[in-house]
Amino acid sequence: MSDITVDVAVIGAGPAGIAAGVGAKKAGAERVVIFERDWDLGGILQQCIHPGFGLHIFGEELTGPEYMHRWISKAREVGVEFLMNSMVFHMEDDGSFWIMNPSLGIKKVTPKSVVLAMGCRERPLGALGIPGTRPAGIYTAGTAQRLVNMEGYMPGNKVVILGSGDVGLIMARRMIWEGAEVLGVYEIMPWPGGLRRNIAQCLDDYGIPFHLEETVVEIHGKDRLEGVTVAKVDMNRKPIVGTERLVGCDTLLLAVGLIPENELSRMAGVAINPVTQGPYVNELLQTSKPKIFAAGNVVIVYDLVDWVSKEGERAGKNAALFAAGELKEPARKIKILGGSNVRLYSPQWLSGQADATIYMRVAQPIEKRCKVIVEPGAYEKQLRYARPGEMSEVQIKAEYVQSLGDVAEILVDIREA
Amino acid sequence: MHLRLCLSPFLNCFTGYKVFGGDFVSTRYYDVIVIGGGIVGSTVARELSRYDIKVAVLDKASELPSGASRANSGMVHAGYDDEPGSIKAQFCPKGNLIYKNLREELDFTLNEVGSYVCALDKDEIAHLELLLEQGKKNGVPSVEIISGDELRSREPNASREIIAALWAPTGCTINNFEAVLAFMDNAQQNGVELFLETEMLDVILSQDKRQVVGVKTNRGMFLSPIVINAAGVHSDEVARMVGDDSFIIHPRRGDYFISDKYVGNLVKSFFFACPSEAGKGITVASTTDHNLLMGPTSIFQVDRNKTATTAEGLDQVIEGARRLIPPIPINMAITTFAGLRADPDTGDFVIGILKKPHGFVNVAGIKSPGFTSAPAIAQHIVERMKNELKDLVEFKPNRKFVPERRHIPRFAYLSMEERSDLAKEDPRYAQIVCRCESVTEGQVIEAIRRGARTVAAVKIWTRAGAGRCQGGFCGPRVIDILARELNIPREEVTRHGGHSRMLVGKTKEYWFREGRL
Amino acid sequence: MFIERRIICTSCPVGCFMIVTEENGKIVSISGSSCPRGEEYAKVELTDPRRVFASTIRVEGGVLSVCPVRSKEPVPKDKIFDITKAVARVKIKAPIEIGQIIIKNVCDTSVDIVASRSLPAKQSADTVAQGG
């Protein structure tokens, strides 16, 4: 079992990983290898065949495969190497890891630095604790998307969608175009989980009912799904007795949230933030293990792939600097605290070594002018609105961090203007 | 072969019998038929495979284990729960020992983690003392009562409310899927035939009703002078087919939660709340695969086929689990399930060989600690059959009996060297299928070779789909491999047999139907 | 006569909520948009609503049995299902190049359906085994 030695190893060839490869190469790293478990590059974006990606980076709306095609071409141009069909299945706390590959067998990889870019997974039915039977016909929206868009198979004909995450909304329209019936989308919260335009173009265009503050309370059917009971929920998200209705369907798609995929990070002893369920990172996207960086949905679930790519490039660049011994030990460590209306945010630490972008999601929507505030001091950014389904971001200059003197913590919040 | 002789009058009255569903299998002849392939059926089948006789196991499910052997706490009990002198008390500690002895031979996963019964108040301490006394009488080794502080020094996440605990070091966690598969797999290697999706419809008796002659199923007739009733929650229904109404099963449902592995290390040993009228109380344990298992509830229900969880049940489980181990976080669940225990009204196992009809054997009502007791019960009943039923079948030793079998390689638990060797031997063992549980294509193919036909069977054999994403990643891949290996269209792949198809067709097909184009 | 219409702009992820006021079929005001694209969208949405169409086509001998396609430009909304049917009929041989025209001027919209990824052919041995 000879080792594979690389300068920067990237785990995952989705949008974050490929951008990290590009970022590392651009920053001068010699051997940059992306390890991908699939036979194909591009990760989940290959199954996102609808347009809506790349407006911020390319100035046009591309489909997922088109968006990834541009990035893959860029990665090839700058000399990123890829190792396909290579599953990373174990990681040591020094950042070295083990891969398995049908032609190479089992190999150990010892990199100078690593970028974690494994993305996220979907919350399964079991996580919701919905009572009832466990028949065939219950899929996460992403699995259904893979079946339909990459394998060419239909998971069902009469569909109910639970949750209004973007993948679920997109799949509602996709299933309609393949002749399925979509009976409704049920969202337990009082606001949609996905983008408003997807409500408009995926549900409204096809007259698909969208039920806010309703959820599935029971599953029926022994072999194949036969129906679900839906009910309205109260302010505590508990079903209201007497509001139950039976909806006959053969398929339930779940779009109830994404969870960063951090099994390897945990194996390597990287500290995980229980709120984001991703690693704690600083503005360099460095984790609690200095050699290990992380980017994209493995850190925090983003709303737009453009941000994932940008953060991937940032992580790749810093991983390259670390591999070259050019990244100084952080002189300071300032903790970022989230305000009362900030549910999730990343990074959680600032070292003052580079300009930072803080990404956040609000807990409660604000459908009017509002602002991001950074305390203490100078920062304030105007927003036209803030919605839980979308991220807000604020740029922070390295100089600001350096000017903070003895301050150990800063606070970010989003408030009404 | 007097069997065939005595059958002829009987067969006549069944001409024109219609077979429901499934492929018709022409009448088959056996020496022994076992109804049910749960832990009881599989341990009995393996015991029978030591003899040179023809044995068939019939199960209506599309994969084993189903029923209570599939959905339970995965525990091998120490044996202090049962009233001294009861049949349960006789078999439970013996079964505990047999599992430990067979672990290597049959290659299933068993961890000797020990168990605690926790007392939260004085009354419950009194109960611990009773259990201690019973344990001693039942011959359970090294059982003792420890203080709450002692418990917490061993298990730091145990609740501060626990004031004492009964410690039984011989309690084990077991991979109950692997155990059932191990016994049945070995039985099959030694000649036992297994028929899945084969539902027993009636027991066939001789005209004078004195003699068993076989069973009628949805797949035709299986004729045999001996029929063993190991039908679990349905065992009273089977007994009534031969006129035995000595017991009634009251199905008692247990709801469970399984957590993500990152909280699997909150406990080391098996935790029980103090037992009540309803059962052994909510347990918390780290499974053999390092998930946290929480449950069961104990809810009587009438329907014997319904294993649906309920909201109340699941709430009870979480509440009960947190009472023992408060740091259990929310949002840690990856799946929920429910099992139906076969609770007999007699209060004890129903084990016996009927006088009338001759050839009918009950191994019924094997409720908790049924899983633990099963291998001991199997040894006992087969020993008795050798004497009491020797007029029906000659129990000559099977000279080709091989007691060892190996499970499919558990890639996730192999050393790097072992993994490397395996991958070199067969590159399909280097192709990941299930990322959460590190299951390779090689394992899935081997499971199919050993009889897995459904997505659920592949999960039971390999754990593909049993992890954090619950098949989100591996689901399409498993469907693909099943279709390829079984040489069937992907649309015909089912989740668990019957009408449980995973896919309904190809994309675009809709537009070609009914002249839409 | 004034008519007020509420529409959600789909031209970018912001999804502006716009109110368009019409008088005798003519737009007199558009409010709520936060960029010029929104106004443009509103005008088109009221007169000639369009959407980008994205689906798959069946492929013979490819590493995947379907290949994603899209309309190069937005197509009239009311033609979506006609286009769906047109796309359903197509089956082409791998390899496929990204951008390759699959259907020219689909349903007389003067918009082409193009492949949105490259799809290599399956290894030849496999192709034989599959009967393709």
Counted domains in chain A: 3
pLDDT (0 to 100) of residue B279: 57
Q: Which two tokens stand for residue A204?
A: 């409204």
User: How close is the nearest chain C Cα to the Cα of B501, in Å?
Assistant: 21
Question: Is C117 in the same domain as C70?
Answer: yes
A225 or C38: which leads in pLDDT: A225
At B149-189, the pLDDT tens digits run 999 999 999 999 999 999 999 999 999 999 999 999 999 99
The predicted model gives A27-54 an average pLDDT of: 96
Task: State the Cα–Cα distance between residues A90 and B413, nearest whole angstrom.
Answer: 12
Cβ contact C65–A152 (<8 Å): yes
Q: Give the Å distances, CA to CA, from A355 to A284, A316, A382, A400.
A: 9, 15, 19, 9
User: Is C131's pLDDT higher than 70?
Assistant: no
Cβ contact C117–A66 (<8 Å): yes
User: Is B329's pLDDT higher than 90?
Assistant: no
Question: Is B305 in the same domain as B238?
Answer: no
Question: Is C62 in the same domain as C107?
Answer: yes
Question: Is A228 in the same domain as A262?
Answer: no
Instruction: Say if residues B503 and A153 touch (Cβ distance below 8 Å).
Output: yes
Task: State the Cα–Cα distance between residues C53 and A177, nearest whole angstrom.
Answer: 10
User: Is B10's pLDDT higher than 80?
Assistant: no
Name the B residues in 432-451 with CB < 8 Å from any C CB: none
The predicted model gives A81-93 an average pLDDT of: 94
Cβ contact C56–B512 (<8 Å): no
Question: Does residue A303 belong to the interface with chain C, where contact is any CB pair within 8 Å?
Answer: yes
Cβ contact B416–A98 (<8 Å): yes
Scored b (16 or more CB within 10 A) or e, B470-487 reads: bbbbbbbbbbbbbbeeee
Domain that holds residue A251: 124-256
pLDDT (0 to 100) of residue C130: 36
Question: Which residue, among A44, A49, A146, A154, would best test binding to B if mutated, counting the most B CBs under 10 Å from its CB?
Answer: A154
User: Is B306's pLDDT higher than 80?
Assistant: no
Q: Which two tokens stand for residue B395?
A: 């129990």
User: How close is the nearest chain C Cα to the Cα of A152, in Å?
Assistant: 6
Instruction: Say if residues B328 and B292 touch (Cβ distance below 8 Å).
Output: yes
Q: Which two tokens stand for residue B466?
A: 């049993």
**Tokens 């990373």 sit on residue:** A88
Domain boundary among A203, A235, A256: A256
Name the B residues in 210-269 with CB < 8 Å from any A CB: 257-258, 262
At B39-52, the pLDDT tens digits run 999 999 999 999 99
Question: Is A249 in the same domain as A340?
Answer: no
Question: Is A218 in the same domain as A229?
Answer: yes
Residue B515 lies in a domain: no
> pLDDT averaged over chain B?
90
Task: State the Cα–Cα distance between residues A110 and A96, nearest whole angstrom.
Answer: 5
Helix locations, B246-310, DSSP H: none
Question: Is B227 in the same domain as B274?
Answer: no
User: Is B194's pLDDT higher than 50?
Assistant: yes
Question: Does residue C58 belong to the interface with chain B, where contact is any CB pair within 8 Å?
Answer: yes
A155 or B25: which leads in pLDDT: A155
Local confidence band at A384 (pLDDT 50, 70, 90 cut-offs): confident
* Residue B17: CATH number of its domain: 3.50.50.60
Q: List CB contacts (< 8 A) between A145 and chain B.
A: none
The predicted model gives B82-86 an average pLDDT of: 93
* Residues in contact with B219: Cβ distance below 8 Å, sequence separation at least 6, in sequence order: B19, B22, B23, B24, B25, B195, B197, B198
Question: Is B164 in the same domain as B254?
Answer: yes
Give the residue from A338, A281, A357 showing the smallest Cα distance to A117. A281
Angle formed by the axes of helices A64-78 and A15-26, nearest 10°: 20
Local confidence band at A331 (pLDDT 50, 70, 90 cut-offs): low
Residue B193 lies in a domain: yes
Q: List CB contacts (< 8 A) between A52 and chain C.
A: 13
Instruction: Say if residues B167 and B144 touch (Cβ distance below 8 Å).
Output: yes
Question: Is C76 in the same domain as C43?
Answer: no
Question: Is B358 in the same domain as B462?
Answer: no
Q: Give the Å distances, CA to CA, from A227 to A133, A142, A152, A217, A246.
A: 11, 21, 25, 11, 7
Question: Is C17 in the same domain as C81?
Answer: no
Q: List CB contacts (< 8 A) between B505 and chain A.
A: 153-154
Domain that holds residue B286: 115-169+249-344
The predicted model gives B249-261 an average pLDDT of: 89
Q: Which two tokens stand for residue A255?
A: 């779009």
Domain that holds residue C29: 2-47
User: Is C128's pLDDT higher than 60?
Assistant: no
Scored b (16 or more CB within 10 A) or e, B295-329 reads: bbbbbeeeebeebbbbbebbebbbebbbbbbeebe
Q: Is C44 left (phi over 0), alpha (psi -120 to 50) or beta?
A: alpha
Q: List CB contacts (< 8 A) between C12 and chain A.
A: 55, 197
Do you know the residue count of chain C?
132
Question: Does residue C56 belong to the interface with chain B, where contact is any CB pair within 8 Å?
Answer: yes
* Residue A413: CATH number of its domain: 2.60.40
Task: State the Cα–Cα distance between residues A25 and C120, nearest whole angstrom.
Answer: 27
Question: Is A117 in the same domain as A156?
Answer: no
Q: List CB contacts (< 8 A) between C7 and chain A.
A: 200
User: Is A44's pLDDT higher than 80?
Assistant: yes
Question: Is B353 in the same domain as B335?
Answer: no
pLDDT (0 to 100) of residue C124: 52
Instruction: Say if residues A144 and A174 touch (Cβ distance below 8 Å).
Output: no
Question: Which residue, among B316, B328, B331, would best test binding to A if mutated, counting the most A CBs under 10 Å from its CB?
Answer: B331
Q: Is B104 left (phi over 0), alpha (psi -120 to 50) or beta?
A: alpha
Question: Is C63 in the same domain as C121?
Answer: yes
Local confidence band at C127 (pLDDT 50, 70, 90 cut-offs): very low
pLDDT (0 to 100) of residue B20: 34
Q: Which helix (H) or strand (E) holds B433?
A: strand B432-434
Prior bond of B65 cis (ω within 30°)? yes
Counted domains in chain C: 2
Local confidence band at B124 (pLDDT 50, 70, 90 cut-offs): very high
User: Is A400's pLDDT higher than 90?
Assistant: no
Question: Is C61 in the same domain as C26?
Answer: no
Task: State the Cα–Cα distance between residues A385 and A374, nearest whole angstrom.
Answer: 17
User: Is B12's pLDDT higher than 90?
Assistant: no
Counted domains in chain B: 3
Instruction: Say if residues A219 and A135 touch (Cβ distance below 8 Å).
Output: yes
Taking residue A382's Cβ as centre, other Cβ atoms within 10 Å add up to: 9
Q: What angle do CA B417, B422, B423 make, to 5 degrees?
A: 100
* Residue A18: CATH number of its domain: 3.50.50.60
Question: Is C62 in the same domain as C41?
Answer: no
pLDDT (0 to 100) of residue C20: 86
* Residue B462: CATH number of its domain: 1.10.10.1100
Instruction: Say if residues A84 and A18 touch (Cβ distance below 8 Å).
Output: no
Question: Is B257 in the same domain as B162?
Answer: yes
User: Is C82's pLDDT higher than 90?
Assistant: yes
Examine the residue annotation and report whether B380 is marked as an active-site residue of this protein.
no
At B200-237, the pLDDT tens digits run 999 999 999 999 999 999 999 999 999 999 999 999 99
User: Is B21's pLDDT higher than 50?
Assistant: no
Question: Is C120 in the same domain as C78?
Answer: yes
Question: Is B162 in the same domain as B258?
Answer: yes
Local confidence band at B19 (pLDDT 50, 70, 90 cut-offs): very low
Task: State the Cα–Cα distance between residues A296 and A298, nearest whole angstrom.
Answer: 5
The predicted model gives A56-74 an average pLDDT of: 96
Q: Which two tokens stand for residue B67?
A: 């029923």
pLDDT (0 to 100) of residue B395: 96
The predicted model gives A124-136 an average pLDDT of: 86
Question: Is A289 in the same domain as A404?
Answer: no
Residue B78 lies in a domain: no
The predicted model gives A55-82 an average pLDDT of: 96
Question: Is A2 in the same domain as A72?
Answer: yes
* Residue C31: CATH number of its domain: 2.20.25
Q: Give the Å distances, CA to CA, from A357 to A310, A393, B216.
A: 10, 6, 71
B13 or B471: which leads in pLDDT: B471
The number of angstroms, rounded, from the C-alpha of A39 to the middle of its chain's C-alpha atoms is 21
